[in-house]
Structure 1
Amino acid sequence: MSGLPRGWKRRTGTAACALALALGAAGPAAGHPPKGRQAASLADRPEVPARLTVGPGGRDLRLAGDLTEGVAVRVAAILAAHPQIARLHLTSDGGLVEEGAAIGALVAARGLSTYVPDACASACTLIFVRGRTRYLATGGRLGFHAPYEIGARGRMRPVDSAPERAAYRAAGLPVAFVTRALAVPPAGIWIPTAGELRAAGIVTEVVGPDRFPDSTLDADPSASGARAAILRSLPILRQAEAAGLDPIARRYRDGYVAGRPEAVAAADLRRMAASYLQRRFRAADDGVVRALGHRILATLRRTETQDAAACGILAAGDLVALDARLRAEGPASHGLAPLLARTQAARPNGADASATVPDAAPPADCAARIAETRHALDLPPRESAAALRALFLAGPQQILASRAGP
């Protein structure tokens, strides 16, 4: 399965890459560890053995986690049992070089395509580059550095990178690219841009989230995993009670199991979150609604001169977009969370509050909505809150009725 010595324990990956990949392409420069972190402390991160699952329809094999001993044998067994598999999804910080090289050999022998929906680093790249066609999701990252061994006291010890160099060159990678990748010390990381990866032929195509089945729950498809993924994507829902969050997580997980594209999953999640926020704020007291109105007006004014399309979305009452805008203003911003905390838990509409969620209303005219919001805030408190509810917190029935016309 591999041209490397049996039982080899060379590594590239998990100790050095976890934090750097989390920082993205704008993270630490190649060859330098992240500031404030020492290589020895990074090496203490526990390994998470790769989870392997066959996707819906049996055409996708998903690998998520570290390349620990034996993972290549597990991959071989799954490929033998599922000859229809055509594509391997990869989400891994790396691990044992032998395992990565062995899986890469399987990929090449089977003529599989490889796809990175999020991040693939170090030994994981030995798998990715063997793909017949190599796809990278928009915003996805590939990370490269030299191999190492774990020496005394758990410290990383650089080793000769000739086997990795040979593996990369056998996959057709340009000499200049391989030289740069393996010049990065074990404690560093090089995350090339998508343009660099395309120019060097490492990536065949950069694809959008509508291309392949969703991989966001590959590492943990459980109910708790779905909740965690949702909260990472939409932190405003950390203020949601179980009755509000659980139906959203259930529907999100069901869609993942069914194999819906990530773009569809994201759009559905936003609709469900928007519906939940609408219910919470619609039932809030007048003071909270007026405070929300002030936040909306201030954001509309700032956005109008910069991005008319975004302003129109906010003007239509998209509270998910408003929360994202507010959080982007600075690290100390908590978005709508402080206001949402002042509302009462929303009661689900029927058995499952997320079962029927209308499409978002079409973007409203931004300048007109700014004027309407300013006028609403000038009214006496009770009338002001009622006007703001009508402008931004219309319930599903009101939205559908407005679309139907007179």
Structure 2
Amino acid sequence: MTGGKLKYWNTGRATLISFFVFGIMGAIQGGIEQSWNTSVYSIAFISSRGVVIGLISAIIATIICISRNRSIAKASTPMPASTGLAVPNRIEPRFGGSSLAPDIGISPAIARERQAQSAKPRRFNNFIARHWRGELPLWLSYWVIGFLGNIVIGIILMIAHAAAVSRDYDPRLILGHLVVIWLGIGAMAPWQFVGVWRSAEARIRERARMGRNAPWAALAKLAVVLGVLRLGAALATTGIPQITEASRMVFLDDPDLPPYALRIMRNGTELEVMGGFKYGLHDDLIRLLRAAPKVRAIHLDSIGGRVGEAEKVYKTIRDRGFVTYVAHECMSACTVAFAGGRERWMGRQAKLGFHAPDFAGMRAADLADMTQGQREIFAASGFDKAFVDRAFSTPNNKMWTPSVEELSRARVVTHVSNGSDFAISGYGATVTREKIATQFQAKQPILATLRNVSPKDFDAIIDGFFSGYQDGRTESELIAAARQRLLAAVRAFIPLADDAVLIELGRLLVDEYTSLAGKDPSLCYQYASGAADIDPRNFPAALIQRETALHGRVLKTASQRPALPRQDLEALFAKVGAELAKRIGTEKLRLLTGSDVSPAQYADYCAGSIAFYQEIIRLNEADAAALMREIFGGK
């Protein structure tokens, strides 16, 4: 092989191998740096993105190599095949230290000055100082300190991560972890970058004195520039947001989350957790459980908070075999605690909300790893896998609130309460009489009307409800009591209502009696005769809504009305009685005026009451309204 071709081959092969090594190791380094990042939440292996970057680097290296070899081939002059002269040995430069080649083109004065500078004693001459000054060979600065150094940092981060996740959630540890990591990076990275840059500069000067290029050194400097940009981007998008968020958690008590509160109810057998899941909630929960050992059910009313704190609450609920119950809402991280219940209850109007977690400065891959712990919790609680997948596919800025039926099918909820199983809850962390009054008026506009018409009756309803809330009575008990007080207050204003309102009230009574009779004649008798209060849950929701709206009209139209003469009223009642006798018979008619009704006669009494109001509303509007005023005015 001729000298030109030998030079062409050796240079091309060396360059090609070097660039391929640079590309492949760059891929590994990129993958490791991307996986062993500064996040304290995930550590994965080499990412596909890093491998792709390495392959692209290898392709670029091949193109550069081919171009360089063509230039060398054009510049090479073949030597004669046989000259009888020996080819002189080449002097190859070293990657560090001084070259064996003379300083071509440099004056003796400059050469002496450089020798004097190199002979000047250094204050520090250890490994760290020599790298900082760029005195180490480029291969050592770049591959050992740069590449292998990042691997060592990655291993340290992995160990630190393992130590952090082995402990319970504590924002102080998270903040300390982040600060130590970023301080370490802030000290290590500049030392790496400056040392590689200076070593590359020394390598370029050394090759220049020999009249040669230093492509490796140029690439090393390019890598330093890219590294600095990448570090700056990581600090801006990851480091600063994470440290800021952790600092707010530690020093400002997580101000974005509402304060939490705990309440013991129902003679110490139930406990309500309200507000945000933030650090300290679990510790306070444990202290309260020690003081109330009879607790068997945990009520949850929260918009969510920190998943780490929710996981601690979940473990306590699971380990102690508590029942969980949601009367109002349990969103985001709260659902993790809810999953710990031996039985999981929710009210018919309650909501459970699910979405993917989030934390400042975390990437999508880190968040995916973060959901793994929650997925395991939901799976252990028996949640349907398809349900869990959909829950975590919901972006963090949105909330998925499945229906009660969906939650039951997915085994998220095991029981649905009608309000009679647990103490009333879900009114927030700070419950006052004024707050209940405001919420009542917002949910039931009729109460706002009653407050204007009869403040005394309004206050009686609110006082009774607030007292029952403090005593831990069930929601159904309190609603039934409030309804009875409201009915009593409205009944006093019925004789003063408009004629059209009274006719509509007669139709409502017919529909209510008919509904109860079809369910249980005894309920119909109790309601029609006024012998006992009826739980409003015995009525269809549509009838309750009609009744509430009609009572509001009663209050709004109430005013003084002229009374009908007694003889006219008696004539109207006689007319209605005659029609009833034809319709149901005199025996059943007597039941309506008698006081001794046996259970066997409840159905007949109910049928007579329905027929009675049907006959009244068949009269003309004025006569029908007059009879309704007389009936309710005498009650």
Give the TM bin, normalised by the shorter chain: 0.5 to 0.7
In the aligned structure 2, how far is the partner of 1:324 from the partner of 1:133? Answer: 31
Match of 2:339 among 129, 148, 151: 129
Does structure 2 retain, via aligned residues, the 8 Å contact 1:216–1:229? no
In the aligned structure 2, how far is the partner of 1:67 from the partner of 1:298? Answer: 50
Match of 2:312 among 72, 78, 102: 102
The residue aligned with 1:21 is none
Matched, 1:83 2:293: yes
Does structure 1 retain, via aligned residues, the 8 Å contact 2:449–2:552? yes
SS in 1 for 2:359: strand
In the aligned structure 1, how far is the partner of 2:476 from the partner of 2:386? Answer: 35
Does structure 2 retain, via aligned residues, the 8 Å contact 1:147–1:158? no
Matched, 1:48 2:258: yes
More strand by share: 1
The residue aligned with 2:460 is 247
- Cα deviation, residue 114, structure 1: 0.9
Seen in structure 2, the aligned counterparts of structure 1 residues 326 and 254 have a Cα distance that, compared at 3 Å, is closer
The residue aligned with 1:260 is 473
State percent identity of aligned pairs: 26
In the aligned structure 1, how far is the partner of 2:257 from the partner of 2:486? Answer: 34
SS in 2 for 1:54: strand
In the aligned structure 2, how far is the partner of 1:204 from the partner of 1:3? Answer: 32
Seen in structure 2, the aligned counterparts of structure 1 residues 62 and 157 have a Cα distance that, compared at 3 Å, is farther
- Cα deviation, residue 342, structure 1: 4.1
In the aligned structure 1, how far is the partner of 2:480 from the partner of 2:263? Answer: 25
Matched, 1:289 2:289: no
- Cα deviation, residue 367, structure 1: 4.9
SS in 2 for 1:375: coil
The residue aligned with 1:370 is 614
Match of 1:6 among 154, 163, 170: 170
The residue aligned with 2:558 is 343
Does structure 2 retain, via aligned residues, the 8 Å contact 1:149–1:157? no
- Cα deviation, residue 239, structure 1: 0.9
Does structure 2 retain, via aligned residues, the 8 Å contact 1:158–1:186? no
Seen in structure 2, the aligned counterparts of structure 1 residues 5 and 100 have a Cα distance that, compared at 3 Å, is closer
Does structure 1 retain, via aligned residues, the 8 Å contact 2:169–2:309? no
Deviations 1:147-177 (A, max 9, x none): 123579xxx9993323322332344434333
Does structure 2 retain, via aligned residues, the 8 Å contact 1:105–1:130? yes
In the aligned structure 2, how far is the partner of 1:204 from the partner of 1:195? Answer: 11
Matched, 1:273 2:486: yes
Deviations 1:266-287 (A, max 9, x none): 21111111111112333x3xxx
Structure having greater relative contact order (Cα 8 Å, sep ≥ 6): 1
- Cα deviation, residue 85, structure 1: 1.4
SS in 1 for 2:293: coil
Deviations 1:188-228 (A, max 9, x none): 33333334333433223223322122225454432113323
Residues 154-173 of structure 1 mapped to structure 2, 5 A cutoff: 159-160=367-368, 161-173=371-383
Provide structure 1 residue ranges, at least 5 long, that are not aligned to the other structure: 10-44, 346-361, 399-406
In the aligned structure 2, how far is the partner of 1:225 from the partner of 1:119? Answer: 18
Residues 111-190 of structure 1 mapped to structure 2, 5 A cutoff: 111-149=321-359, 159-160=367-368, 161-190=371-400
In the aligned structure 2, how far is the partner of 1:2 from the partner of 1:376? Answer: 81
Does structure 2 retain, via aligned residues, the 8 Å contact 1:97–1:123? yes
In the aligned structure 1, how far is the partner of 2:501 from the partner of 2:366? Answer: 56
SS in 1 for 2:494: helix
- Cα deviation, residue 297, structure 1: 5.4
- Cα deviation, residue 262, structure 1: 1.7
In the aligned structure 1, how far is the partner of 2:439 from the partner of 2:349? Answer: 17
Structure 1 window deviating more from structure 2 (216-225 vs 89-98): it is: 216-225
Structure 1 window deviating more from structure 2 (211-220 vs 104-113): it is: 211-220
How many correspondences in the alignment? 327
Does structure 2 retain, via aligned residues, the 8 Å contact 1:293–1:373? no
The residue aligned with 1:387 is 627
Matched, 1:309 2:493: no
- Cα deviation, residue 135, structure 1: 1.8
Seen in structure 2, the aligned counterparts of structure 1 residues 323 and 169 have a Cα distance that, compared at 3 Å, is closer
In the aligned structure 2, how far is the partner of 1:254 from the partner of 1:2? Answer: 46
- Cα deviation, residue 47, structure 1: 4.4
SS in 2 for 1:114: strand
Does structure 2 retain, via aligned residues, the 8 Å contact 1:94–1:123? yes
SS in 2 for 1:341: helix
- Specify the code of the residue in structure 1 equivalent to 2:499: R
The residue aligned with 2:417 is 207
In the aligned structure 1, how far is the partner of 2:382 from the partner of 2:616? Answer: 61
Does structure 2 retain, via aligned residues, the 8 Å contact 1:2–1:102? no
- Specify the code of the residue in structure 1 equivalent to 2:558: T
Seen in structure 2, the aligned counterparts of structure 1 residues 185 and 322 have a Cα distance that, compared at 3 Å, is closer
Provide structure 2 residue ranges, at least 5 long, that are not aligned to the other structure: 1-164, 176-254, 519-523, 561-604
Seen in structure 2, the aligned counterparts of structure 1 residues 172 and 203 have a Cα distance that, compared at 3 Å, is same
Seen in structure 2, the aligned counterparts of structure 1 residues 300 and 157 have a Cα distance that, compared at 3 Å, is farther
Does structure 2 retain, via aligned residues, the 8 Å contact 1:211–1:261? yes
RMSD (CA atoms): 4.1
The residue aligned with 2:281 is 71
- Specify the code of the residue in structure 1 equivalent to 2:467: D
In the aligned structure 2, how far is the partner of 1:6 from the partner of 1:323? Answer: 47
